[in-house]
């Protein structure tokens, strides 16, 4: 049977979506990811190896490198694409569908890439396509957030490109393989930086809570799944065992959860939470043992599904009730029970309740840390789990569905497709918890872990139960207020202002000065040379242009202002940050 790259299917679907209408379009929207998913399942019967090798400009591009690690990610990505497509079936704006599918295509292509050049191409596709998902919301802050998002990601992409070039220069090959910490030099760290930005590793994380709450309801569902998890995949492939990742990952888990505890907007809570959960994955990769990496991958799989479920539920609230701010919501359990059920399923899954996917995946990472005798990391991760349950398992549902009745009324009924999508995701959250072997089979290494041990159950019960107690005790303190919390993005936003004030003054005058030079110097020569000019004029143009010389003398004001839009601010910081990077690079 002929092998077709699943990204190609997604691209075709993306192009077909705007060209079709009504029922036909809906069929296209569902069929595309289903076909892609099917292709992935057939890949399991193929022998692992490199396929689809293309020769381009003298480089050997490996478009499809198939092995267990890639396959498990492809599996969940395409499954998620189906869920996302179903969830978005009701959306009329076809640009969202196109952007979403192209985004998925980028993710699939990156996962299958066997060489850095292919990876880079699809990486950029992901960045551009997802920017459009943010812009598609068309609100003022969405447009601005989209620019910042685009800038960060393009910057990250270029850091990645610089690293790729340097590496090619040193090693002579574009092949994307695992790197050893001992051999990592500037090139490898640049590539790591590029990957880290997409994985929203602290301190390069600020774009995530900035942009995700501003995306469209359906767009956010797509976005939460792909960018970060694709980055997790490439980190797992290339940088397993780098101790830096283990530490940064643990830091991420606490950082994300900390902010989630104090945030007000439901989607922003979930966004910070992504940082936290990705922290588990990054930490597992950093530890590098088979169990830890297995855990990271399993966690990625489970996380995509329950995070999507949460975004879908909260998205439903946003769509139906018009707001996602916890301070404005409450008491919705009567009016939106279906959404509530699914959000709660997502919430307990993420918290790691027994019989849910979180229980069998997150604990594997923690156990991996323990087995590797990283007690400090293990405790940090467990603390983060406490915070997870607190913020997303209790606080989020409590203040939306229970708590004080805010009087918010849903304006319309929940569309059937959203319910179906949530149902699928919810099903898997439970299924994986009940039959963990199904997931474990797909993991890259053989699994030697039994989640349902008495001790583990006991530990989980205690943690969850007493966290709930803690919430109860502090519940008055936890009431969300409508305030903005600063994060690291203040640094780049602030610095831009300073830089702009500086740059605006020298730069545009320089441009004008150079133009002035023409007038002052060149014009005099022109007058002197006017004889030549007018001879040409008179003999050839003769009546075609009236009074050119006259008009020249009359020429008025040359002043032009370099108009600066806000964009220059953002650019300026990216450029200057890059220059700083260059100073490091220059010392090789």
Partner 1 sequence: MSALVNLISYLRSKPNLLMGLFTLMLGVFVLFDAFATRHGAHFAGDKVVGFWAIFGFGGTIIMTKFMKWFAHEVLIRPLDFYEKKEGEE
Partner 2 sequence: MSEFFALNDSFSYPILSYLVFLPLAGAVVSLFLRGDKVLKSFAFLVMVAEALLSIPLYTSFDGATAKFQFAEFIPWINAFDINYTLGVDGISLLLVMLTTFVMPLCVLCSWKYIDKRINEFVFALLVMETAMIGVFLSLDLILFYVFWEAMLIPMYLLIAVWGGDNKAYASLKFFLYTLAGSVMLLVAIIALYFSTGTFFVPTLMEHGYTFAFQFWVFLAFALAFAIKVPMFPFHTWLPAAHVEAPTPGSVILASVLLKMGTYGFLRFCLPITPTATLYLAPILLWISIISILYGGFVALGQKDIKKLVAYSSVGHMGFVTLGIFLINMQGVEGAILQMVNHGITTGALFICIGIIYERSHSRLIADNSAIGAFMPVYVAFLGLFSLSSLGFPGTNSFVGELLVLIGAFEKNKLIGAFAIPGALLAATYMLRLLQKIIWDKDDGHGHHGDGVHEHHFFDLNLREFGTLAFLAVFVVWIGLAPKPFIAKMSASVSKVIEQTNATEASALLPAPGWSGFMKAMGAGGDHHGEESGHGDAGHSTEAEVEAGGHDAPQTHGGESGHGESSGH
Which residue ranges make up the site for partner 2 (CB under 8 A)?
18, 57, 120-121, 124-125, 128, 131, 135, 137-140, 142-144, 146-147, 150-151, 154-155, 158, 161-162, 165-166, 168-169, 507, 511, 514-515, 518, 522, 525-526, 529, 533, 536, 540-541, 544-545, 548, 551-552, 555, 562-565, 567-568, 570-571, 574-575, 578-579, 581-582, 585-586, 588
Per residue, what are the HEC states of 174-202?
CECCCCCHHHCCHHHHHHHHHHHHHCCCC
3-state SS, 198-238, equals: HCCCCCCCCHHHHHHHHCCHHHHHHHHHHHHHHHHHHHHHH
Contact partner, 526, from partner 1, partner 2, none, Cβ < 5-8 Å per class:
partner 2
Encoded one letter per residue, x for contact with partner 1 by CB under 8 A and - for no contact, window 81-120 reads ----------------------------------------
Q: Is 511 in the site for partner 1 (CB under 8 A)?
A: no
Provide, rounded to whole angstroms, the least separation between the CB of residue 533 and partner 2.
7
Residue choice 246, 471, 503, 572 for contact with partner 1 (CB under 8 A): 471
Distances (CA, A) of 392 to 250, 348, 448, 475: 18, 9, 30, 14
Token duo for residue 149? 């998002």
Of residues 438-457, those binding partner 1 (CB under 8 A):
453-455, 457
Q: Which is nearer to partner 1, 334 or 411 (CB)?
A: 334
* Residue 441: partners with Cβ closer than 8 Å, 6 or more residues away: none
Q: Verify binding: residue 522, partner 1, rule CB under 8 A.
A: no
Residue 466: name its binding partner from partner 1, partner 2, none (Cβ under 5 to 8 Å by kind): partner 1
Output the smallest distance, CB 172 to partner 2, in A.
12
User: Cβ distance 80 to 19 under 8 Å?
Assistant: no
**Per CB under 8 A, 466 contacts partner 1:** yes
**Residues 6 or more apart from 95 whose CB is under 8 A from it?**
18, 132, 136
**Binding of partner 1 at residue 390 (CB under 8 A)?**
yes
Nearer to partner 1, 482 or 529 (CB): 482
Among candidates 63, 19, 53, 13, which has minimal Cα distance to 33?
A: 13
Nearer to partner 2, 143 or 482 (CB): 143
Strand, helix or coil for residue 493: helix
Stretch that binds partner 1, among 154-162, 223-231, 286-294, 490-498 (CB under 8 A): 490-498
> Which residues ranging from 300 to 359 are in contact with partner 1 (CB under 8 A)?
333-334, 337-338, 341
Q: Which stretch binds partner 1 (CB under 8 A): 1-9, 71-79, 110-118, 492-500?
A: 492-500
Q: Is 315 exposed, middle or buried (0-12, 13-18, 19+ CB in 10 A)?
A: buried
CA-wise closest residue to 445 among 243, 230, 284: 284
Which residues partner with 55 through β-bridges?
A: 60
Cα–chain center distance at 125: 12
Q: Which does 454 bind (CB under 5 to 8 A by kind): partner 2, partner 1, none?
A: partner 1
Q: Is 139 in the site for partner 1 (CB under 8 A)?
A: no
Residue 522 binds which of partner 2, partner 1, none (CB < 5-8 A, kind-dependent)? partner 2
Measured from the CB of residue 237, what is the shortest distance to partner 2 in angstroms?
20
Q: Residue 373 interacts with partner 1 (CB under 8 A)?
A: yes
Taking the CA atoms of 336, 31, 150 and 384 in sequence, report the sign of the dihedral they define: positive
Nearest to 335 by CA among 322, 349, 351, 348: 322
Judged by beta carbon, residue 106 or residue 387, the one nearer partner 1 is 387
Pairwise CA distance, residues 268 & 327, whole Å: 13
**Which of partner 2, partner 1, none does residue 536 bind (CB under 5 to 8 Å by kind)?**
partner 2
The reply to whether 562 sits near partner 1 by the rule CB under 8 A is: no
Residue closer to partner 2, measured from CB, 234 or 571: 571
Closest approach, Cβ 59 to partner 2, in A, equals 9
Give the three-state DSSP class for 325: strand
Q: Which is nearer to partner 1, 502 or 558 (CB)?
A: 502
User: Quick one: what does residue 471 bind among partner 1, partner 2, none, with the CB cut-off 5 to 8 Å set by partner type?
Assistant: partner 1
Q: Helix H segments across 44-185?
A: 68-87, 94-112, 116-135, 140-171
Alpha carbons within 13 A on the beta-carbon side of 167: 24
- Mind giving me the DSSP string for 12-66? HHHHHGGG--HHHHHHHHHHHHHHHHHHHHHHTTSPSEEEEEEEETTEEEEEEEE
φ, ψ at 329 (rounded to 5°): -110, 170
The residue from 1, 473, 540, 583 that contacts partner 1 (CB under 8 A) is 473
Q: Are 103 and 149 in contact (CB under 8 A)?
A: no
Applying CB under 8 A, the site for partner 1 has a residue count of: 56
Q: Which of 192, 208, 250, 478 forms a contact with partner 1 (CB under 8 A)?
A: 478
Distance in Å, CB of 193 to partner 2, minimum: 13
Q: Residue 507 binds which one of partner 1, partner 2, none, with CB within 5 to 8 A depending on kind?
A: partner 2
Residue with the two structure tokens 């190896």: 49
Phi, psi (deg, nearest 5) at residue 203: -90, 15
Between 159 and 396, whose beta carbon lies closer to partner 2?
Answer: 159
Q: Of the candidates 171, 497, 511, 535, which one interacts with partner 1 according to CB under 8 A?
A: 497
State in Å, rounded, how far the first CA of the chain is from the last one.
49
The residue ranges that bind partner 1 (CB under 8 A) are 257-259, 261-262, 333-334, 337-338, 341, 370-371, 373, 375, 378, 382-383, 386-387, 390, 402, 453-455, 457-459, 461-474, 477-478, 482-487, 493-494, 497, 500-501, 566, 569
């Amino acid at each position: 049977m002929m092998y077709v790259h699943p990204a190609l299917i997604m691209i075709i679907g993306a192009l077909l979506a705007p060209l079709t209408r009504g029922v036909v379009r809906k069929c296209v929207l569902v069929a595309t990811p289903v076909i892609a998913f099917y292709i992935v399942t057939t890949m399991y019967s193929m022998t692992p190896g490199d396929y689809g090798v293309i020769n381009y400009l003298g480089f050997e591009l490996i478009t499809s490198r198939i092995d267990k690690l890639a396959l498990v990610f492809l599996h969940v990505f395409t499954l998620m694409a189906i869920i996302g497509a179903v969830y978005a079936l009701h959306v009329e704006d076809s640009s969202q569908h196109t952007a979403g599918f192209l985004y998925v295509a980028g993710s699939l292509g990156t996962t299958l890439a066997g060489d850095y050049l292919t990876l880079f191409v699809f990486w950029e596709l992901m960045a551009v396509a997802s920017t459009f998902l943010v812009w598609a919301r068309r609100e003022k802050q969405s447009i601005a957030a989209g620019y910042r998002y685009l800038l960060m990601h393009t910057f990250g992409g270029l850091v990645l490109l610089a690293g790729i070039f340097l590496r090619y220069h040193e090693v002579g090959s574009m092949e994307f393989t695992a790197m050893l910490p001992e051999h990592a030099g500037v090139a490898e760290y640049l590539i790591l930086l590029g990957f880290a930005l997409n994985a929203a590793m602290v301190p390069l994380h600020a774009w995530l809570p900035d942009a995700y709450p501003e995306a469209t309801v359906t767009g956010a569902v797509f976005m939460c799944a792909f960018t970060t998890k694709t980055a997790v995949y490439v980190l797992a492939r290339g940088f397993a065992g780098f101790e830096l990742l283990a530490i940064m990952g643990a830091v991420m888990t606490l950082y994300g959860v900390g902010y989630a505890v104090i945030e007000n907007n439901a989607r922003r809570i979930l966004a910070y939470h992504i940082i936290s959960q990705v922290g588990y994955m990054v930490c597992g990769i950093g530890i590098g043992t088979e169990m830890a990496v297995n855990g990271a991958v399993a966690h990625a799989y489970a996380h995509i599904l329950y995070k999507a479920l949460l975004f879908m539920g909260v998205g439903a609230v946003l769509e139906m009730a018009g707001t996602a701010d916890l301070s404005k919501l409450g008491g919705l359990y009567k009016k939106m029970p279906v959404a509530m059920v699914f959000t709660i399923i997502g919430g307990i899954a993420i918290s790691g309740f027994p019989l849910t996917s979180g229980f069998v995946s997150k604990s594997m990472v923690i156990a991996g840390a323990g087995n590797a005798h990283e007690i400090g990391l293990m405790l940090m991760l467990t603390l983060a789990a406490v915070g997870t349950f607190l913020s997303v398992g209790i606080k989020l549902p409590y203040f939306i569905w229970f708590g004080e009745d805010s009087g918010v009324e849903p304006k319309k009924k929940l569309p059937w497709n959203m319910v179906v999508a949530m149902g699928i995701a919810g099903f898997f959250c439970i299924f994986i918890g009940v039959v963990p072997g199904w997931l474990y089979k797909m993991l890259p290494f053989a699994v030697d872990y039994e989640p349902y041990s008495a001790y583990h159950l006991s530990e989980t019960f205690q943690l969850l139960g007493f966290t709930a107690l803690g919430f109860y005790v502090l519940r008055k303190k936890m009431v969300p207020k409508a305030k903005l919390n600063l994060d690291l993005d203040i640094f780049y936003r602030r610095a831009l202002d300073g830089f702009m004030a500086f740059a605006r003054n020298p730069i545009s005058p320089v441009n004008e000065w150079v133009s002035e030079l023409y007038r002052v110097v060149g014009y005099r020569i022109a007058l002197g040379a006017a004889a030549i000019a007018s001879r040409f004029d008179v003999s050839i143009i003769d009546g075609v242009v009236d009074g050119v010389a006259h008009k020249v003398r009359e020429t008025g004001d040359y002043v032009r202002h370099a108009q600066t839009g806000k964009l220059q601010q953002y650019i300026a910081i990216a450029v200057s940050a890059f220059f700083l990077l260059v100073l490091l690079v220059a010392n090789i």
